[in-house]
């Protein structure tokens, strides 16, 4: 289990008859019946996509500036939807609208995400986030600009809270 498992875990749902379905384009596209081997392939490609996007974000921020990440978002979206279109090209499109699928609550989506990521990963990320909070406190005490210090403390404090909630959801 890992961080990117959570991103792809929420791509699939069950329709009213209990079939596993894939609706990659949200309410704008179709609903496709997914065989197990197709689901595994989509999950593999989805994880690779998110890993590449993560690396691209890190490289863009370090080599250029964070604004280049904003400019890369349309390219990322086009690549993601292109990949989804490639996945569904041979799947059976069902005569149902995405709006007709049983709705998943936000809590259920968060639970599925948290379980896919896994408790060990969530605990590790929570600890790293707490270390960044401690770093922000250290920055504040050592005379760094207070605005930056408080932003680090606030951002990673909220990350810690969110990760802790996910950790608890994964255990429930």
Q: What would you measure as the largest C-alpha separation in the chain, in angstroms?
A: 63
Q: How far apart are CA 162 and CA 142, in angstroms?
A: 28
For 99-108, what is each residue's pLDDT tens digit? 887 787 778 8
For 1-43, what is each residue's pLDDT tens digit? 577 777 777 778 887 788 888 888 877 888 888 888 888 888 8
Q: Among residues of the chain, what percentage have pLDDT more than 90?
A: 27
* Sheet architecture: strand order including 12-14: 12-14, 20-22, 31-33, 92-94
- Residues with Cβ within 8 Å of residue 69, at least 6 apart in sequence: 57, 60, 61
């Amino acid at each position: 289990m890992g961080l990117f498992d959570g991103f792809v875990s929420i791509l699939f749902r069950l329709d009213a008859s209990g079939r596993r379905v894939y609706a990659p384009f949200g309410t704008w596209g179709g609903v496709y019946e997914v065989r197990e081997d197709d689901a595994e392939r989509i999950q593999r490609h989805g994880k690779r996509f998110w890993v590449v996007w993560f690396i691209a974000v890190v490289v863009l921020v370090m080599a250029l500036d964070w604004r280049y990440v904003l400019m890369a978002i349309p390219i990322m979206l086009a690549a993601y939807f292109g990949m989804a279109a490639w996945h569904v090209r041979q799947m059976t499109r069902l005569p149902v609208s995405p709006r007709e699928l049983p709705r998943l609550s936000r809590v259920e989506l968060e639970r599925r995400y948290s379980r896919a990521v896994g408790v060990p990963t969530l605990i590790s990320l929570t600890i790293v986030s707490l270390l960044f909070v401690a770093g922000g406190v250290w920055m504040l005490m050592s005379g760094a600009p207070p605005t930056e210090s408080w932003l680090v403390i606030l951002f990673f404090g909220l990350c810690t809270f969110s990760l802790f909630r996910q950790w608890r959801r994964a255990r429930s």
